[in-house]
């Protein structure tokens, strides 16, 4: 059971006002807020042991290196990766996806096929389009239905011995749909294809076990999990990471360099060229600790409660339609009011101190499917309350009255 009043004390930003009203933050699917416990870790790093890592023999460098690698170990344990070096630090989910898409250039040939889903964020569409342009491979799409669910019977038809890669998100950022990734992975492996799962939207709500999933690659971002921006993680099975070429050249990712030939460092350093976001990695570890101390089962249960409450209250508003009505769904509600542009609703709601997201949410194909310009998206976290949902409902009613 979550003590939300106690948890809210950990988030200093929740004390501020916006436009003279108490802040209600419902843009958690874009980025989560950061607790004081993580802020303190960031301040401590820059105040007491800021130094470059892996290279220095001096005390500060050794302290920073130890803290950074301890964070890698925490993240390994959180995702249940088999080895610490299967965890590659990145600048975020997009970086991890591009690393894999670029690496697979040498593995694909003309006529090979890669599969994505219709529910993807642009960052899990564009890199694969670029990969297909480079290699001559063909991009196939698993379609969606009116509930915002993938049509799995078509996925079965798309799979063949030509399929080399399958990519899908774990949870849709635009609709909140939880995809059946266990089935997707199992069926892809049956035809010899590798699978990458975009976990950016899932990791704030669930605790993925990459070994149980038997997934080849899994990517996530710290800033969706109470951590800092500019920091993410790529999990990859050791055998795949060994086969893939480095994504970038530079310091840290080398073994020996001469002007005639360079040999590369082992995992994970092979994919971590240059000075990393050291503080970001350490803070990501602290954010993982913070969320695990609350407990992901408790987080999921409470957020589902918020989702049910908000769905019921919003649907009482005449003319309001929710997009994404899958039975397997996380705490995201995308909606429109008939005859009113979502941007206009978002603007008025902001004047009342409530932060929601409007637009296509970097998922334009979903909006095209529904033949709409975008939606208003309210996304809830474990530090939100039912009273805040009531404030949102009142704000949407006011917006409707003013704009209708």
Q: How far apart are CA 338 and CA 36, in angstroms?
A: 41
The DSSP bridge partners found for residue 133 are none
Please provide residue 45's backbone torsions phi and psi, each rounded to the nearest 5 degrees.
-60, -50
The set of residues, in sequence order, having a beta carbon less than 8 Å from that of 260 and lying 6+ positions away, is: none
**Per-residue exposure over 179-194, b if at least 16 CB sit within 10 Å of its own CB, e if not:** bbbeebbebbeeeebb
Q: Is the Cβ–Cβ distance between 279 and 42 less than 8 Å?
A: yes
Q: How far apart are CA 342 and CA 336, in angstroms?
A: 6
Give the three-class secondary structure for 161. coil
Our answer to whether residue 362 is catalytic in this structure is yes
- Selection from 80, 384, 89 nearest residue 247 by Cα: 89
The set of residues, in sequence order, having a beta carbon less than 8 Å from that of 78 and lying 6+ positions away, is: 207, 288, 292
Query: DSSP string covering 294-353, please?
Result: H-HHHHHHHHHHHHHHHHHHHTTSTTEEEE---SSB-SEEEEEETTS-HHHHHHHHHHTT
The DSSP bridge partners found for residue 218 are 197, 235
Q: How far apart are CA 38 and CA 284, in angstroms?
A: 8
Greatest Cα-to-Cα distance within the chain, rounded to the nearest angstrom: 72
Instruction: Supply the DSSP symbol for 104.
Output: G
What's the angle, vertex CA 80, arms to CA 254 and CA 70, rounded to 5?
55
Q: Is the Cβ–Cβ distance between 88 and 220 less than 8 Å?
A: no
Q: How far apart are CA 294 and CA 288, in angstroms?
A: 10
- Residues carrying an active site annotation: 362
């Amino acid at each position: 059971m979550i003590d939300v009043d106690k948890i809210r004390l950990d988030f200093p930003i929740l004390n501020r006002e916006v436009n003279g009203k108490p802040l209600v933050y419902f843009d958690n699917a874009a980025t989560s807020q950061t607790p004081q416990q993580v802020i303190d870790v960031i301040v401590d790093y820059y105040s007491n042991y800021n130094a470059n890592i892996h290279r220095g023999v001096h005390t500060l460098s050794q302290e920073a290196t130890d803290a950074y690698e301890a964070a890698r170990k925490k993240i390994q344990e959180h995702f249940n990766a088999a080895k610490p070096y299967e965890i590659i630090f990145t600048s975020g989910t997009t970086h991890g996806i591009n690393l894999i898409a670029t690496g697979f250039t040498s593995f694909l040939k003309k006529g090979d096929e890669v599969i994505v889903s219709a529910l993807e964020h642009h960052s899990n569409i564009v890199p694969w389009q670029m990969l297909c342009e480079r290699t001559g491979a063909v991009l196939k799409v698993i379609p969606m239905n009116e509930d915002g669910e993938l049509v799995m019977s078509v996925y079965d038809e798309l799979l063949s011995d030509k399929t080399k890669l399958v990519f899908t998100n774990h949870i849709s950022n635009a609709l909140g749909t939880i995809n059946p990734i266990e089935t997707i992975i199992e069926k892809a492996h049956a035809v010899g294809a590798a699978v990458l799962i975009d976990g950016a939207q899932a990791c704030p709500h669930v605790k993925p076990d990459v070994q149980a999933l038997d997934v080849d690659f899994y990517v996530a971002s710290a800033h969706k999990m109470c951590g800092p921006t500019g920091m993410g993680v790529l999990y990859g099975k050791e055998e795949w990471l060994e086969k893939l070429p480095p994504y970038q050249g530079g310091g840290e990712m080398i073994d020996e360099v001469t002007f005639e030939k360079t040999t590369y460092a082992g995992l994970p350093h092979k994919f971590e060229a240059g000075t990393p976001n050291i503080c970001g990695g350490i803070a990501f570890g602290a954010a993982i600790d913070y969320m695990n101390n609350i407990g992901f089962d408790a987080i999921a249960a409470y957020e589902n409660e918020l989702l049910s409450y908000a769905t019921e209250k919003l649907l009482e508003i005449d003319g309001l339609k929710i997009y994404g009505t899958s039975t397997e769904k996380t705490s995201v509600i995308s909606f429109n009011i008939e005859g009113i542009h979502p941007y206009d609703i978002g603007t008025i709601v902001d004047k009342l101190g409530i932060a929601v997201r409007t637009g296509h949410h970097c998922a334009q194909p979903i909006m095209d499917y529904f033949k709409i310009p975008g939606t208003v998206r309210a996304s809830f976290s474990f530090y939100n309350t039912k009273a805040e949902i009531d404030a949102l409902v009142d704000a949407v009613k006011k917006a409707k009255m003013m704009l209708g």
